[in-house]
Structure 1
Amino acid sequence: MIKADNNNWKKVAFRNSRGLALAGLLYGTPEETGDIVINCHGFTGSKEGGGRALELGAELGQRGWSTLVFDFAGNGESEGDFANITLSGQIDDLTCAVEWVLKQGYKRVVTVGRSFGGSTVICQGARDPRVAGVCTWAAPARLMDLFTSFTGEPVDSPEEMVTMAGENGIIYLKKAFFQDLKLYDVPQEAARLAPRPLLIIHGTRDGVVPPTDARLIFEAAREPRELVWIEEGDHQFAKHYHQVWKTLFGWLDRHFKRPAP
């Protein structure tokens, strides 16, 4: 399903393997580019990224790349209950997004993920050879350490739900979220991406995900791999996002430049 909007972005929808409809926005067409970036939001985020994800998509369009942004199930305009989210579910959502863009006619897919979306693109890419390259922004490596720090409750209690402090107030997740996290070792997953390129971007002043997490992912990964520090960058890259974009553009040019006609 594709509906045109007023700003070069088209509203799209596709289903994950659980039957939930996922809402997305697509910039560009396979006829124009053949190459596409799937840009994944972070924990409790949305596809628009406060507008910046759409700005980035337009910039990528000027450089010959289409972009798909979408809401993970339970987030934004997608179907599902946020309390039911898991990393396995997000991996499935992204796999279905990859399948969808390939069915549209795109030939080469690169995934980009911010924060928990970054952990997602690593784990999904490790399982999907159709992904040509992976880029993370402020991705956590030690998932249990990070998410248990957001709650004062024991995650192994008999209670079904866990109360967590989110950016926009209190949120609730099922205990299954934490049980599912135990299935994934993000650095080990990163090692499975080679020989496809991996770009890790992290701010030196990230107060949410420690910069040491980026180092753990980098050291576990195999070539071709790059770790780029954004000096003074926070978790949101609030004052440095153009530097992050420039780093991404350069990486795409180096690894995915099209042959001359």
Structure 2
Amino acid sequence: MATFVLVPGAWLGSWAWEDTARALSERGHAALPVTLTGLGERSDVATPEVGLDTHIDDITAFVMEQDLRDVTLVAHSYAAVPVTGAAGRLGPRLERVVYLDSAPFTEGTRLLDVMPEDVVDQLCAQVAEHGDGWRLPLPPFGLLGAFSSIEGLDEDQRDLLRTRATPQPFRTFEQRLTSPAEFGPDVDRVVVACNDAKALLDAALPMLAFLNQSPWRHFHLPTGHWPMLSRPVELADTLDEVVSSVR
């Protein structure tokens, strides 16, 4: 049995993991979804000061306060940034880190750095016009699809995303990572790539070259960027395979 700490991406709370967490539990695992400060059911504590460091603290505290050990830390999308920061604080409690359609960030980088400049401009406009200058509502699907594939989401799943997504404190996108993890040799390092990410890995881009080398392991999930919504049971199957397969 593995202990999964499931960290959702931008605009999401623990609700996004419900079906996957249930399927993992049915397979005998402990599946513990996290809601980061200012999102989901914690949207009432959102402030302009909530930033990347806040979310790094959230993840670290979640593991420490519950005294979790042998943790498999799963980072979806934006969560790659705070998970990379938190992983370095967990020491021997961390058994494995799984980047779900995401990748680790290096020191001094921020989420906006990996987006096209025109997309960043449009997101900043959304913050200014609809987010009181500090919150980013879920963008329209036309803009969202420019940097996060919505492949595989049917109309019901899109409606769920529209209605349950909460505005993201924009400082979490703007703040740069100052304390990236230096994974110890015993930490299993995994990428679960959906279709677009797999295409990037297959293209052997120089900036992602390290992910194609040992000790990194790859798994493919054929869907878009939101697999916990589009393929939740298949995602659980993949995570089960991750922890049961030999490194």
> TM-score, normalising length from structure 2?
0.66
2: distance between equivalents of 1:210 and 1:83? 36
Tell which has more relative contact order, 1 or 2 (C-alpha 8 A, sep 6+): 2
**In the aligned structure 2, how far is the partner of 1:112 from the partner of 1:172?**
19
Question: Match for residue 11 of structure 1?
Answer: none
Runs of at least 4 residues off by over 6 Å: none
CA contact (8 A) 1:108 1:131 kept: yes
CA distance in 1, matches of 2:199, 2:138: 18
Q: Does 1:132 align with 2:95?
A: yes
1:81 is aligned to 2:33: no
Give 2:55's match in structure 1, choosing from 75, 90, 99. Answer: 90
Return 192-201 or 222-231, whichever deviates more: 222-231
2:193 equivalent to 1:229: no
Per the TM alignment, residue 190 of structure 1 is displaced from its structure 2 partner at its CA by 6.1
Helix, strand or coil at the partner of 1:71: coil
**In structure 2, what is the Cα distance between the partners aligned to 1:80 and 1:221?**
40
Aligned to 1:250: 241
Q: 1:125 to 1:217 in 2, by over 3 A?
A: farther
Q: Indicate how the Cα distance of structure 1 residues 115 and 197 shifts in structure 2: closer, same or farther if over 3 A, else same.
A: same
Amino acid at match of 2:216: R
Counterparts in 2 of 1:150 and 1:95: CA distance versus 1, 3 Å? same
Cα distance between partner residues in 1 of 2:50 and 2:212: 27
Deviations 1:197-235 (A, max 9, x none): 0111122236xx98459974561587432122334x211
**SS of 1:199 mapped into structure 2:** strand
Please report how far the alpha carbon of residue 151 of structure 1 lies from its aligned counterpart in structure 2 after TM superposition: 3.5
Q: 1:230 to 1:220 in 2, by over 3 A?
A: closer
Aligned residue-pair number = 204
Q: Distance in 2 between matches of 1:64 and 1:241?
A: 16
Alignment-derived partner of residue 157 in structure 1: none
When normalised by structure 1's length, the TM-score is: 0.63
**DSSP 3-state at the match of 1:74:** coil
8 Å contact kept, 2:9–2:75: yes
Instruction: Give 1:120 deviation, angstroms.
Output: 2.5
Q: For residue 54 of structure 1, what is the aligned residue in structure 2?
A: 18
Q: 1:101 to 1:162 in 2, by over 3 A?
A: closer
Counterparts in 2 of 1:172 and 1:71: CA distance versus 1, 3 Å:
closer
Counterpart code for 2:37: A
Q: Is the 8 A contact 1:42 1:117 kept in 2?
A: yes
Any residues of structure 2 matched to 1:1-261 within 5 Å, and which?
Answer: 35-49=2-16, 53-78=17-42, 80-81=45-46, 83-102=48-67, 106-129=68-91, 130-139=93-102, 141=105, 143-146=111-114, 149-152=119-122, 153=124, 161=133, 164=136, 166-167=138-139, 168=162, 171=167, 173=169, 176-177=171-172, 180-181=175-176, 183=178, 189=180, 192-205=183-196, 211=200, 216=207, 219=210, 223-231=214-222, 233-237=223-227, 239-254=230-245
Separation in 1 of the partners of 2:97 and 2:204?
14
> Which residue identity does 1:139 align to in structure 2?
S
Higher strand share: 1
Where in structure 1 are there 5+ consecutive unaligned residues?
1-32, 155-159, 257-261
Whole-Å separation in 2 of the counterparts to 1:222 and 1:82: 40
Higher helix share: 2
The 3-state SS of whatever aligns with 1:205 is helix
Higher deviation after alignment, 83-92 or 162-171: 162-171
Residues 200 and 214 in structure 1, CA contact (< 8 A), matched pair in contact too: no
1:180 and 1:214 map into 2 onto residues whose CA distance is: 28
